[in-house]
Amino acid sequence: MTARGPLAARETMAPDAAPVPPDVLPARRRAPIARLLRAEVRWIFRRPRTLVVLGLLVLLPVITGVAVDLTLSGAAPVDAGPPGGAPGAGGGPPIFVTMATSAFVLPLGSLMTLLMLMLPLTVAMAAGDALAGEQSHGALRGWLLAPVSRGRLLLVKTVGVLVVALVAAGLVVASGVVTGLVLAGTDGLVSMSGTELSVGGVLWRLAVAVAWATVYLMAVGAVALAISASTEHPMLVVVGVLGGLIVSVVLLQISALDWLHPYLLPSSLTSLVDLIRDPVSFDGLAEGAFRAVCYLVIGLSVAYARITTRDG
């Protein structure tokens, strides 16, 4: 009688054949993390909508600086008030008025303004495309077949959102600096306290502003990734993030909810004004950064829990 089947095939092998050790067996190779990061960043900056939004972010500080300069060129000079006064609160000129005479205030003022809506919109779009958008097109299956674990997948997508946040904030500040220097020259490096600043003093303040804005935007991106991991519709991510920010801003205007204000992410945006003053106070910036880190940890934790337990 002739044996049949896989068991018979193994029995017909040479009796002196040694079993193959497990470490010699062909294993599924994991995709290198560096290659995944390069592919993710390259894919992000190939999207036309990403390039369009970044182009708008470059143009907005230019438009703001030119508009303020033209508006105030024929107006009566504004009383600067005592040095160190609060902008627009009777103790100093409004921040948009100071933009016309200070090449240092324009980039930070533009950054504060765009952090209200435009920059969070950019990050929310990137986070929505990262998970929900690719899942709706079936692209996430290719990642998992690479093979890429779901934890590493979330790491790659988080780094991609981080790169978008850093590039967006950096472009706004760089565009504001160039526009301010063109409009006010190098003599316009003046703080809102009325003190003249050196180029080095301005650069490190702008670097702190970009770093702080990146942390803030990553907090928004973490919340967006948590929503993106729970849906297949990227527009729902954008609407959810922007809706939450708008509601938070409205709640900040209600004095009866003072107890809630420290927990709202946009409450720390005004801390960037401290970088325009001399000397710089880091209390508000540190509090805002800690609040953003809390949102970041919670958002990424929810995203990780969702992406590792979700089927498909």
Residues 80 and 192 sit within 8 Å (Cβ to Cβ): no
Give φ, ψ of 231 to 5 degrees: -145, 165
238 token code pair: 């954008």
DSSP letter string, 230-284: T-S-HHHHHHHHHHHHHHHHHHHT-GGGTTTGGG-GGGGGGGGGGGTSSS---HH
Type of residue found at 184: A
Give the DSSP letter of residue 10: H
Type of residue found at 166: L
Residues 81 and 194 sit within 8 Å (Cβ to Cβ): no
Residues 110 and 64 sit within 8 Å (Cβ to Cβ): yes
What is the rounded CA–CA span in Å between residue 123 and residue 214?
10
Helices and strands, number each (H, E), in the chain: 12, 0
Block residue for tokens 């999207």: 47
Closest among 82, 130, 108 to 241, alpha carbons compared: 130
- Start-to-end Cα distance in the chain: 47
| pLDDT value of position 312 | 52
What does the domain layout of the chain look like in residue ranges? 32-40+47-64+84-309
Number of Cβ within a 10 Å radius of residue 300: 21
Residues 261 and 108 sit within 8 Å (Cβ to Cβ): no
CB proximity list for 64: less than 8 A, separation 6 or greater:
96, 99, 106, 109, 110, 113
What is the rounded CA–CA span in Å between residue 14 and residue 18?
9
| pLDDT value of position 98 | 64
Per-residue pLDDT of the chain (312 residues; tens, 9 = 90+): 444 444 444 444 444 445 545 444 344 566 678 888 888 899 899 889 899 999 999 999 999 888 887 877 655 554 444 444 444 444 444 565 566 567 788 899 899 999 999 999 999 999 998 888 777 665 665 565 556 777 888 898 999 999 999 999 999 999 999 988 888 776 667 777 777 888 888 889 999 999 999 999 999 999 999 998 888 888 999 999 999 999 999 999 999 999 999 999 999 898 998 888 888 889 999 999 999 999 999 999 999 998 888 665
Residues 180 and 105 sit within 8 Å (Cβ to Cβ): yes
CB proximity list for 286: less than 8 A, separation 6 or greater:
none
47 token code pair: 């999207």
Cα of 143 vs its chain's centroid, Å: 23
Closest among 106, 304, 309 to 189, alpha carbons compared: 106
Residues 284 and 270 sit within 8 Å (Cβ to Cβ): yes
Residues 154 and 307 sit within 8 Å (Cβ to Cβ): yes
